Amino acid sequence: MARKSRRGNAGALAPSAAGIRVYRTAVYVRLSREDGRKVESDTVENQRALLEDYVAGEPSLELAGVYVDRHVTGTKFDRPEFNRMVADMRAGRIDCIVVKDLSRLGRNYLEAGDYIEKIFPFFGVRFIAVTDRYDSLTSDPAEDGLVVPLKNLINEAYAKDISKKICSTFEGLFEKGVFLATTAAYGYKKNPEDSHNLLVDENVRDVVVRIFRERLEGKSLAQIARGLNADGILAPSVYWQSIGVIHKEKYTNLWEGKQVRRILENVVYTGDVEISKSYRAYYKGVTKPVSRDKGERFYVEGHHEAVIDHETFDRVQELLQARKREYFSARENTGGDRNRREDKLQGLLFCGHCGNKMNLYRKTVKLVGGYGHYSTYVCRRAATYGEADPPKNIKADVMEGLVMELLRAHMAVYVDARERMRALNRGPEAAGRRTALEKELSGKAGRRDKVSGFIRVLYDDFTDGVFSEGEYLEMKAGYVSELEVLDAEVAALEAEAERLAPDYAGDGKMAAAFGKYLGAEELTKELAQTFIKKIICYGSDRFDVEYTFAEELADLVEKGGGKA
């Protein structure tokens, strides 16, 4: 008698004693910042309690996990906990998702519809929106096929409306000069009685005054920063960390020229504020601020106590602009023959003292007979860190030449280890081991094929009533466990057989990389990026190099009987 073909979801839980299928259920809770301003019933805790009570009261549902996204907009689907839930769904750990209402899933009409109508059904996942009384298992396509998309469309329109209202509210506050920034600028602090107002931070008032004074005296940004560091004055982020404005202890940096520039260019020190330099597109789910044009910003005069008078501030701006004009004029005055040397060590070279990335400094100079170029690798912080970071100015030709020498030596070690390994693999001992491996592999692979066949036949027998469900699940578990062991054993034997091959050249990726670049005479950016993870520079004559294939090469050298 021919067997009947039966198809079903292999990942589903077994029926309960009452014959009801039990779904492994995920409870998903989402609350955005805007939602948090609404009534208490929309809090995370209340949403979660509602959904867990619902699952507990449904015999066909069994709680398998809770996923909570706090302060995350519903207009985008790239959310940490939502992504974790989808990963569990794809892995077959859950086959039902429960939310409070359709808006908790998302307020983007198209994407929410895709999940409900396409993605969840594709994975055999039941979807329930409790307060909207929607259950994909019992829904009426004729009715819900219109109602659900309509509700999703309403949710998206609501998100747009909320976004406009928030932006409008903020702009009203900006016009009044209400300060909404999370932290105050260096030199100021928030008024403890009214966080929208600024007070002068008397602990560092003199530091701000000093920075403006020294710039007027003709000191460069680097000279000002170097002086502050020499006097032990904490850089802004470190200072805020020390007084508890920043709670994560992660800042250790010193003053740099860019920090000095930010202070010198900030109009806040005159007592005025320029508000809304950037904005966030709430409806679109944009999390990074987007810069606004000058005309779109709000400028409020006399907002708080000034540290620097307007005349001093304006004179400093003139100096800064003059320096910019001088810099760009010098760049243009190169006869069109600018230094465009490629940075072959881009992203690889780091300062051994401050940990900062070292950059390629390119310059074009006018000579008697034309123009000349020179390029050096430098640590930008060295100009301001003083003794804590000795200057490092290494000519690009010299640095690239040293790296190429190191890579040639690295390749020579690889070639020597590879030839030693191949010589061993051509010997009688390796040949005997290969023969034994082939026999063992054949046996393991044959057993693996048989076990896979047993699993297929077992399911057919179960559908025909030869075994009970309990017997089927028990035997299947045993075969699956054996299959996993066999897969691991076969993989290990294949790897050993590969290492014993007469033409073995090492780990696959390493062998391909060395094979491509053996014999290279000139350093290229691609060559450096392939073989080097990091170069730590302590000076012109001391480097530490971290190679990409260090462990794989050491393993090849050891197996070949050589020395790394």
pLDDT at residue 16, rounded to an integer: 45
Range of weakest confidence among 97-111, 121-135, 416-430: 97-111
Q: Is residue 251 domain-shared with residue 318, that is, in the same domain?
A: yes
pLDDT, residue 293, reads: 46
Identify the pLDDT of residue 14: 41
Stronger pLDDT, 164 or 191, i.e. the higher one: 191
Q: Is 268 part of a structural domain of the chain?
A: yes
Do 434 and 417 share a domain, yes or no?
Answer: no
Q: Does residue 186 have a pLDDT over 70?
A: yes
Per-residue pLDDT band for 23 (boundaries 50, 70, 90) equals: very high
30-61 CB burial, b ≥16 within 10 A, e <16: bbbebbeeeeeebebeebbebbbebbeebebb
279 φ, ψ (degrees, to nearest 5): -145, 165
**Tally of structural domains, the chain:** 4
Residue 310: left (phi > 0), alpha (psi -120 to 50), or beta?
alpha
485 with 496, same domain: the answer is yes
- Same domain membership, residue 213 and residue 352: no
Strand partners, 97: 26, 127
pLDDT for residue 297 is more than 70: no
For residue 330, what pLDDT is reported?
62
Same domain, 133 and 148: yes
Average pLDDT score over residue span 457-470: 79
Average pLDDT, the chain: 78
In a domain, 8, yes or no: no
pLDDT surpassing 90 at residue 98: yes
> Which has more pLDDT, 180 or 92?
92
Asked if 31 and 127 sit in the same domain, the reply is yes
Final residue belonging to a domain, choices 133, 166, 199? 166
Structure token pair of residue 419: 């030839």
* 157-166, 220-229, 294-303, 469-478, range with the lowest pLDDT: 157-166
| Mean pLDDT across 194-212 | 89
What number is the average pLDDT over the span 62-89?
85
Half-sphere exposure of 164 (CA within 13 A, CB side): 6
- Across the range 38-47, mean pLDDT stands at 63
In a domain, 410, yes or no: yes
CA 310, CA 282: separation in Å to the nearest integer? 36
Position 370 scores a pLDDT of 63
- Mean pLDDT calculated for residue range 68-86: 82
Residue 524 banded pLDDT, cuts 50, 70, 90: very high
Higher pLDDT among residues 335 and 249, named by residue: 249
Query: In Å, how far are 4, 8, 464 from 1, measured between CA atoms?
Result: 9, 22, 10
Sign of CA dihedral 201, 203, 206, 211: negative
Range 541-563 average pLDDT: 83
| Percentage of the chain lying above the pLDDT 90 cut | 25
Q: Can you tell me the distance from the alpha carbon of 83 to that of 108, in angstroms, rounded to the nearest whole number?
A: 16
Q: Where residue 299 sits, what CATH number does that domain have? A: 3.90.1750.20
Residue 173 lies in a domain: no
Of 288, 322, 356, the last residue of a domain is 322
Spatial contact of 76 and 287, defined as CB atoms under 8 Å apart: no
User: What sign does the CA torsion over 248, 254, 257, 263 have?
Assistant: positive
Question: Would residue 558 count as lying in a domain?
Answer: yes
Pick the last residue of a domain from 274, 297, 322: 322
Q: Which of 349-353, 396-400, 419-423, 500-504 has the lowest mean pLDDT?
A: 500-504
DSSP single-letter state for residue 43? S
Cβ-in-10-Å burial (0-12, 13-18, 19+) of 413 comes to middle
**Which residue segment(s) compose the domain that 200 sits in?**
188-322
pLDDT at 484 over 60: yes
| Average of per-residue pLDDT across 250-266 | 87
Q: How high is the pLDDT of residue 39?
A: 41
Residue 172 lies in a domain: no
Q: Is 14 a member of any domain?
A: no
Q: Does residue 7 surpass a pLDDT of 50?
A: no
Whether 219 is covered by a domain: the verdict is yes
Run of H or E residues at 327: helix 310-332
- The pLDDT value recorded for residue 234 is 92
Looking at the fold, whether 150 and 206 belong to one and the same domain comes out as no
Residues 49 and 157 occupy one common structural domain:
yes
> What pTM, to 2 d.p., does this model score?
0.51
Q: Decide if pLDDT at 288 tops 80.
A: no
User: 130: domain CATH number?
Assistant: 3.40.50.1390
Per DSSP bridges, beta strands 194-200 and 298-300 are: unpaired
Note whether 523 and 376 are same-domain residues.
Answer: yes
Residue 513: which residues within 8 A CB-CB, separation 6 or more?
530, 531, 548, 549
Instruction: Tell me which range, 111-125, 214-228, 319-333, 423-437, is most confidently predicted by mean pLDDT.
Output: 214-228
356 & 406 share domain: yes
* Residue 107 pLDDT: 63
Both 445 and 311 in one domain: the answer is: no
The pLDDT of residue 181: 60
What are the distances in angstroms from CA 403 to CA 292, 392, 399, 529, 545?
44, 16, 6, 12, 9
Confidence class for position 488, pLDDT limits 50, 70, 90: confident
Distance CA 289, CA 549 (A): 40
Looking only at the bridges linking them, the beta strands covering 298-300 and 273-275 are antiparallel
Which residues neighbour 63 within 8 Å (Cβ) at sequence distance 6 or greater? 25, 27, 52, 55, 56
Q: Is residue 417 located within the same domain as residue 434?
A: no
